[in-house]
Amino acid sequence: MVPSNRITDGDLAKGTRRNAMAEEKSGKRTPNEEATYRKSNYYITRQKGRNRRTTGEYQGTQTPGTTNVFVGGKPLFRSETKFDSGCGWPSFYAPAKEKVIEAEEDRSHGMRRIEVKCSRCDAHLGHVFEDGPQPTGLRYCINSVALNLDEDR
């Protein structure tokens, strides 16, 4: 069975934006965001940048908890879905809930990829690839700077 959050080549060919599963947006951007955020947080979440490979705070952590988006605190991933993909960024095979991630085609840097963003605040998180483990076969490759970890108690 194909996971409902998978983006097909047909979707990409049509140039469609997959947000049918996205929640209603709130708190997209505030006027003073750039001044409030650390430079790296703003660059990654709002200008679609990325942290350098293997340099992210959450790359090697195995701490149980929920990974939230830096911008608004929305829960994105659970530690049970985190795995070491060897790519150099934190990797997860499934979001915490179906409606927390929004995906769209990204053709920047001469590549064809699927960008993932927070469905509520539009923060750029990273990309999703179809080479992950079961049960989804997906690998959400996420920038550490876009995340905060809320440890289980």
Q: 87, 118, 121, 141: which one is catalytic?
A: 141
Catalytic residue check, 87? no
Tell me which DSSP letter residue 60 carries: S
- What is each CA distance from 85 to 18, 24, 113, 139, in whole angstroms? 25, 31, 17, 8
In 3-state terms, what secondary structure has residue 23? coil
**DSSP codes of every residue in 69-138:** ETTT--EEEEGGGEE--SSSS-EESS-SSGGGEEEEEE-GGG--EEEEEETTT--EEEEEES---TTT--
Known catalytic residues?
Answer: 141
